[in-house]
Amino acid sequence: MASTYTLCYITSCCAMVFGLTPTTAQTQNALDFDGVNDLVRAPAASTQLVGATSCSLTCWVYPRNAAPAYPDFDGFAGFRNEVDADFYLLQIAPFNIIEGRLQNSDEEVFTVTYGGLVLNTWQHLGLVYNGSMLAIWYNGVEVASVPANGIITDASVPFYVGNVQFQSVPFLLNGRMDEVALFTRALVADEMECLMASGPSITDPDLALYYRCDQGTPGGNNTAISTLTDLTGQVNGNLEGFALTGATSNFVQGMFFGTTIEDVWCDDQIAFQFGDEVVNGPGSYTATFTSSSGCDSTVVLNMFQGEVNTNVVQNGSLLISTANPATWQWVDCDNNNAPIPGATGQYFQATAVGNYAVIVTQGCSAMSDCREVTVVGIGEHDRTFVSLSPVPASEALNVELATTSQPVRVTVIDMSGREVQQNTFANTGRVRLDIASLSEGTYFLRIEAEERTNVLRFVKE
């Protein structure tokens, strides 16, 4: 039973799988800021914006400051010299307000705000300037905008992460940052959604700065690291104030990133292509797909070995599959495993001597061993031999035999076919079986006495 996958782009870079729902995946590192003295400074990085008629700043943020108030505002990222080169994102009061600002080389100031920030959760922010409008984007949607104009020509201003410097006052972040990127173009909706799904492509010609924050060991000793790597190769950021060890003020587990798909590998499955890899068994497979906007989408396919319960309990001519839930097809082993018409239930009552098996489908399909039926007519419901009470049972199960037998062997079998309890009683026609320790559910009871075997089903509540 082979899986069918269709990989597509629906505005964002995403993977759709037939019959399954993709979920976010692939944990990336992030950088944790303590709100006291942690910051990243990339010196004179504004040179990347000089003369640009449009630009965009994007990042994932995880803010923690529930009561920002001057001078305890929280800077996310950007440039700020309060004169002629501002382009930043900032958390101000009250806690849910995001401020974005552009100040051009003519010292004109344009400010846009949005009141949708959420504490203690990852969210994607964007500040986009297209030459005439300045807009805030939140989780892939444009949520606020104001008219704006001009360019930046000052090449001396540092780029900050986890800080927006206001004159001599640092606005230090209490929270986490991930996937910080600066572009020299105005991003549009499909690009924003693609960035949320996968992050920037380092081959993008308009990508000016890109701090992935994936360095180090999450929560480990990272004291040997002194800079935050710019994957464009332009300006690395200096790590200032970080402990770089422990669960805070350090590289930590970051944003869940990309898409993962989970599926089951069946033994009869045919290998298939997944990106550049061939899926030919259980394992983890990764593929990267590029959208029309140039962003990469990473999709991880986790294939797990399919398990099918093919256990069969036999009571004379009655065969019982212990798989449930499932679908069943009983077959005649003596007729080249031909399906028996109408024999599609969990129980199969043979009407002729022979060998029989069942094909069980539980996501995957598998066939049981063949069982030999030598006598017909003795079934599960032969109550003249044995009866059970109460039905259902909770603490104890009474097993009543038609005659006194010696010995009597009683075995409890769970729905996976595992024998979970076995007792032998001597010279008795009635057995009281303690089942208090069994979990709730359905079981089979196999009673062997006087060279006869009977199997009954009971429910433990």
User: Residue 298 — very low, low, confident or very high, per pLDDT cuts 50/70/90?
Assistant: confident
Q: What is the pLDDT of residue 257?
A: 65
Query: Among 58-72, 97-111, 221-235, 433-447, which stretch is predicted with the lowest mean pLDDT?
Result: 433-447
Encode the chain in three state secondary structure.
CCCCEEEEEECEEEEEECCECCEECCEEEEEEEECCCCEEEECCHHHHCCCCCCEEEEEEEEECCCCCCCCCCEEEEEECCCCCCEEEEEEECCCCEEEEEEECCCCCEEEEEECCCCCCCCEEEEEEECCCEEEEEECCEEEEEEECCCCCCCCCCCEEECEEEECCEEEECEEEEEEEEEECCCCCHHHHHHHHHHCCCCCCCCEEEEECCCCCCCCCCCCCCCEECCCCCCCCEEEECCCCCCCCCCEEEEEECCEEEEEEECCCCCCEEECCEEECCCEEEEEEEECCCCCEEEEEEEEEECCCCCCEEEECCEEEECCCCCEEEEEEHHHCCEECCCCCCCEEECCCCEEEEEEEEECEEEECCCEEECCCCCCCCCCCCEEEECCCECCEEEEEEEEEECCEEEEEECCCCCEEEEEEECCEEEEEEECCCCCCEEEEEEEEECCEEEEEEEEEC
* 25 vs 388, more confident: 388
Domains and CATH numbers, the chain: 5-24+260-303 (no CATH), 28-256 (2.60.120.200), 312-373 (2.60.40.10), 386-460 (2.60.40.3080)
pLDDT value at 309 more than 50: yes
pLDDT tens sequence across 206-229 = 999 999 999 999 999 999 999 999
Residue range 120-143, pLDDT digits in tens: 999 999 999 999 999 999 999 999
Q: Is the pLDDT of residue 15 over 50?
A: no
